[in-house]
Amino acid sequence: MEPVRRAVILAAGLGTRMAPATKAVPKEMLALVDRPVIQYAVEEAAAAGIGEIIFVTGPDRQAVRQHFGGDTRLERHARAAGDRELLRRVTASEGVADFRFVEQEEPLGTGDAVLRAEEHVGGEPFALLFPDDVILGAESCTAQLTRARACGGGGSVVAVRRVARDELSRYGVVDPEGSGDPVRLRGIVEKPSPEDAPSDLGVVGRYVLEPSIFDHLRAIAPGAGGELQFTDALARQIAAGTPVRACRFAGRRYDTGRPAGLVAAAVDAALSREDTRAAALAAIRPLMPPPEGA
């Protein structure tokens, strides 16, 4: 069974839910404490033993290239000033993996964005990360998926979590064959009504995929706005008989593509770090309302 050596990270979206903050700054570069959102995805992939990362960016995403490419103004300043600690922090993201960049020229959907990376994946299984979904915890979510794939003897694996009934219409919802974990899937439905949802397991933005997914991406028809939806290709892969399993990962997931999710993730990240916990608590406590009846 081939190992998972590469990851694809999508960074081409317009960030409309976070406007106007994303008018000039890519949503993936918005800060969680002192690191951009996308760096959490990179570090998660690296912690899973992945050595090559392919970014799919939009034509206006030069900030992503600069952040992981080095030789920025801040880096040059740190070198000239002999500030080793600043230099360490500024360059920490540059050596964790080999980076490649491809462009999605037009916003034609997540399926089209994944297709842009096919040449660099090289016909091997790969991880796919949507950096809007920040997952914090003791173990890399991607590492959990690669382990589930190895234990199952191959195939694709998707990360899922239990979702409240009234939120199911915001997710791709899987149809599992049983109650195991991981569990093989019969299908997947994109954003069903609660009444039509086949389970309460919603997919979050982490996958380990067999390369046949590219054949299915080329076969699906464009939907609204001419976009190719990745979930449609995954449904085809399941229907074609490729083992696709759902894994209930351990970790705390935040949708940082929404303002409240970004704030919650920042609070969690700050409280999870020894160097920021005390200051974060001191700032948060005065803002908390007193308990009812106090």
CATH for 109: 3.90.550.10
Q: Which of 7, 8, 11, 95 is nearest to 50 (CA)?
A: 7
Q: Which of 51, 72, 52 is nearest to 62 (CA)?
A: 72
Domain of 108 in residue numbering reads as 6-287
175-213 as b/e, with b when 16 or more CB fall inside 10 Å?
Answer: bbeeeeebbebeebbbebeeeebbbbbbbbbbbbbbebb
Q: Does the residue 40 lie in any domain?
A: yes
Q: Does the residue 229 lie in any domain?
A: yes
What is the share, in percent, of the chain residues with pLDDT greater than 90?
81
- Looking at per-residue pLDDT, the higher value among 58 and 6 belongs to 6
pLDDT at 103: 93
Q: Does the residue 292 lie in any domain?
A: no
For the segment 256-268, the average pLDDT, to the nearest whole number, is 96
Q: How far apart are CA 148 and CA 154, in angstroms?
A: 9
Give the Cα-Cα-Cα angle 122, 160, 49 (nearest 5 degrees): 40
Residues 109-162 pLDDT 10s: 999 999 999 999 989 999 999 999 999 999 999 999 999 999 999 999 999 999
- Looking at per-residue pLDDT, the higher value among 211 and 224 belongs to 211
Q: Does the residue 293 lie in any domain?
A: no
Q: What is the domain count for the chain? A: 1
Q: Does the residue 1 lie in any domain?
A: no
For the segment 182-208, the average pLDDT, to the nearest whole number, is 95
Q: If you compute the radius of gyration of the chain from its CA atoms, what whole number of angstroms results?
A: 20
Confidence tier at 62 by pLDDT (50, 70, 90) = confident
pLDDT at 292: 76
Q: How far apart are CA 17 and CA 22, in angstroms?
A: 9
Q: How far apart are CA 28 and CA 218, in angstroms?
A: 27
For the segment 186-206, the average pLDDT, to the nearest whole number, is 95
Q: How far apart are CA 94 and CA 66, in angstroms?
A: 10
Q: Calculate the average pLDDT of the chain.
A: 93
Q: Does the residue 294 lie in any domain?
A: no
pLDDT at 34: 93
Q: Does the residue 109 lie in any domain?
A: yes
For the segment 86-105, the average pLDDT, to the nearest whole number, is 90
Q: Does the residue 155 lie in any domain?
A: yes
Confidence tier at 204 by pLDDT (50, 70, 90) = very high
pLDDT at 17: 93
pLDDT at 294: 61
Confidence tier at 93 by pLDDT (50, 70, 90) = confident
